[in-house]
């Protein structure tokens, strides 16, 4: 509350007159202050409050007096005393109230009563809000739908209703306890369609759009009673039962076998009669019956045991999804990595290590390899890094027995591996026929290979004393990486003969490092002996090579012309 004071003072100044007549007798003066209210003694305000004003007159009659205006009510604020008295009445959030403003000067005062009405009790306005998605989308099938909502400031006696403008929406029901509206969407047998569900609460209304996809005929599906069937070594006859869901008129099912020892004898609606021949091999074998219906297929696996089948062991057949090889120990060993897809662990790698009869062998030679004849290397207490079953995913198991037959088709550049191996109590049959990344499957390399047409030659620097030239032949079969040691200070390649040797054997002599290599038909091998001669020609180099790699293959040829990135003469 603010209080301002107005001071009034009246000063009587005596006047002296000089006259010939005698002075008159002064009239008596009032001695009291006179304070009078000239506006209403009671002021009324609404609950919203507002500004108030009090009018007055003040006669000091020669007295000195201070005019004040005060109120004990906190809701009467900003009282200002001037020629009129003003104040502010704040908004009322509660019941009606009353207080006063007291105006005083000297020993005189008066009160002005201030009244304010209670806050009007206006009922809250209801609101209806949809809280589920809008629009609601449905597929072609019959299903239940739900619309959720909220009602704030509900009004007594008013209930929510729901209706729809389409007859394919039915069983519309309001569940007030759950604040939801449920309905049934009928199956659609035609084009895409839309409907509107209208929710009404008193004068409030909300609309929800219902969308349903067009009818699409379900795809046919082949259902088989058993995905895998097992036969003894003697073989025999059997019946595979199946049925077609969502059959299409005019489409007939067919069945084929991927192996010769399984034949399809007859096929009728829902049945396939097959014959499995006797198994004379000493391994478990696997065949696939493929049922085809239009564009869809379903497979039935046929497993057949053999005479010496051991029920205490687990037998599996690998389905190879990828295969590659790496040469080890200077061509004395080839590691072949077979990848099969495991239903739980994903792609799993199995390594079979093949020992070569002669070093520097360009591929696994044709023949029979086994642990017994020493052709397959296994891990022992004294030797590791050989054959391992499922070497990834921390599931590595050493191989205890194995036998594989290997055959190469040099015309098709493919190789086949057929055989079995044992790891712990599991015996795995493995068959692979195809290309082999990392292994040269072409004709054996005999004598010199000359390449005088090179697609590109690129220079790279290495450390402080090495200059690498990489050349690729025009036919793409040969890549040569020449690592020259001790080049000239101007970083060009000096003329002369560069013998093949290790970098520590140079003794200041410019030479070709043994770590230089050739990649021929995707098989990489480092150099063993020979030399390279460098000549300067107009705008480039002439490099003549005559070297032998670690596999005993002889390479001769010429690189001639400018070298990309190099300092050309």
Domain residue ranges in the chain: 6-116, 127-212, 221-304, 314-434, 454-561
For the ranges 8-12, 211-215, 533-537, the lowest mean pLDDT is seen at 8-12
Neighbouring-strand partners of residue 529: 548
Average pLDDT score over residue span 92-98: 92
Q: In angstroms, rounded to a whole number, what is the distance separating the alpha carbons of residues 523 and 171?
A: 73
Over residues 424-469, the pLDDT tens digits come to 999 999 999 999 988 888 776 555 677 767 777 777 766 556 777 8
pTM for the model = 0.46
Among the listed residues 110, 114, 89, 88, the one whose alpha carbon sits nearest the alpha carbon of residue 100: 114
Q: In angstroms, rounded to a whole number, what is the distance separating the alpha carbons of residues 353 and 339?
A: 15
Average pLDDT score over residue span 345-359: 87
Among the listed residues 197, 205, 204, 192, the one whose alpha carbon sits nearest the alpha carbon of residue 147: 197
pLDDT of residue 9: 37
At the second CATH level, the architecture of 127-212 is Sandwich (2.60)
Over residues 111-121, the pLDDT tens digits come to 999 999 998 87
Place of tokens 């296994």: 378
Among the listed residues 2, 93, 107, 104, the one whose alpha carbon sits nearest the alpha carbon of residue 49: 93
Answer yes or no: same fold for 6-116 and 127-212.
yes
Among the listed residues 427, 454, 433, the one whose alpha carbon sits nearest the alpha carbon of residue 544: 454
Using DSSP's 3-state secondary structure scheme, residue 429 falls into strand
pLDDT of residue 427: 92
Answer for the pair 432, 320: CB distance below 8 angstroms, yes or no.
yes
Identify the residue with better confidence: 230 or 509.
230
Using DSSP's 3-state secondary structure scheme, residue 504 falls into helix
Looking at residue 330, the DSSP 8-state letter turns out to be: G
Burial of 93 (0-12, 13-18, 19+ CB in 10 A): exposed
pLDDT category at 16 given cuts 50, 70, 90 is: very low
Percentage of the chain modeled with pLDDT above 70: 89
Among the listed residues 436, 404, 246, the one whose alpha carbon sits nearest the alpha carbon of residue 326: 436
The highest-level CATH class for domain 221-304 is mainly beta
| pLDDT at 2 > cutoff 60 | no
Fold for the domain defined by 6-116: Immunoglobulin-like (2.60.40)
Of all helices (H) and strands (E), which one includes residue 253? strand 253-257
Answer for the pair 158, 132: CB distance below 8 angstroms, yes or no.
no
| pLDDT at 490 > cutoff 70 | no
Among the listed residues 434, 428, 230, the one whose alpha carbon sits nearest the alpha carbon of residue 348: 428
């Amino acid at each position: 509350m603010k209080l301002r004071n107005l001071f009034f003072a009246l000063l009587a100044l005596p006047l002296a007159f000089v006259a010939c007549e005698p002075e008159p007798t002064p009239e008596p003066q009032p001695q009291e202050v006179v304070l009078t209210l000239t506006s209403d003694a009671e002021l009324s305000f609404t609950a919203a409050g507002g500004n108030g004003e009090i009018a007055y007159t003040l006669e000091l009659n020669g007295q000195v007096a201070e005019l004040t205006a005060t109120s004990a009510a906190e809701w009467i604020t900003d009282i200002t005393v001037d020629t009129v008295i003003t104040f502010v009445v704040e908004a009322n959030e509660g019941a009606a109230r009353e207080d006063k403003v007291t105006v005083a000067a000297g020993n005189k005062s008066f009160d002005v009563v201030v009244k304010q009405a209670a806050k009007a009790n206006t009922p809250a306005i209801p609101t209806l809000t949809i809280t589920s998605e809008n629009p609601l989308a449905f597929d072609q099938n019959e299903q239940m739908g739900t619309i959720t909502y909220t009602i704030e400031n509900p009004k007594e006696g008013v209930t929510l209703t729901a209706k729809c403008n389409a007859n394919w929406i039915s069983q519309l029901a309001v569940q007030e306890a759950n604040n939801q509206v449920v309905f049934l969407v009928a199956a659609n047998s035609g084009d895409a369609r839309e409907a509107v569900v209208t929710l009404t609460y008193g004068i409030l209304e909300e609309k929800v759009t219902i969308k349903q996809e067009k009818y699409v005929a379900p795809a046919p599906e082949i259902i088989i009673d058993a995905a895998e069937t097992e036969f003894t070594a003697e073989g025999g006859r059997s019946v595979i039962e199946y049925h077609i869901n969502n059959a299409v008129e005019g489409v007939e099912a067919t069945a084929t076998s991927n192996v010769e020892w399984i034949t399809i004898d007859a096929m009728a609606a829902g049945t396939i009669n097959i014959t499995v021949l006797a198994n004379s091999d000493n391994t478990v074998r696997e065949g696939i019956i493929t049922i085809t219906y239009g564009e869809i297929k379903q497979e039935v696996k046929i497993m057949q045991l053999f005479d010496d089948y051991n029920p205490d062991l687990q037998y599996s057949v690998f389905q190879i999804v990828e295969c590659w090889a790496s040469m080890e120990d200077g061509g004395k060993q080839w590691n072949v990595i077979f990848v099969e897809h495991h239903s739980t662990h994903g792609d799993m790698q199995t390594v079979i290590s093949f020992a070569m009869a002669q070093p520097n062998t360009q591929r696994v030679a044709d023949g029979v390899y086994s642990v017994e004849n020493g052709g397959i290397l296994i891990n022992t207490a004294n030797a590791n890094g050989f054959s391992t079953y499922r070497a990834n995913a921390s599931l590595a198991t050493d191989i205890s027995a194995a036998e594989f037959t290997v055959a190469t088709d040099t015309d098709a550049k493919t190789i086949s591996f057929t055989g079995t191996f044992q790891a712990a109590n599991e015996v795995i049959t493995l068959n692979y026929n195809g290309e082999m990344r990392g292994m040269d499957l072409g004709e054996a390399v005999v004598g010199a290979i000359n390449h005088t047409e090179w697609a590109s030659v690129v220079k790279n620097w290495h450390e402080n004393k090495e200059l690498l030239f990489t050349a690729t032949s025009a036919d793409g079969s040969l890549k040569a990486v020449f690592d020259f040691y001790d080049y000239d200070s101007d970083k060009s390649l000096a003329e002369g003969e560069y013998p093949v040797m290790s970098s520590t054997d140079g003794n200041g002599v410019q030479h070709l490092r043994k770590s230089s290599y050739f990649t021929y038909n995707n098989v990489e091998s480092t150099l063993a002996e020979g030399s390279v001669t460098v000549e300067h020609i107009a705008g480039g180099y002439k490099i003549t090579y005559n070297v032998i790699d670690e596999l005993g293959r002889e390479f001769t040829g010429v690189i001639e012309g400018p070298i990309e990135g190099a300092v050309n003469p």
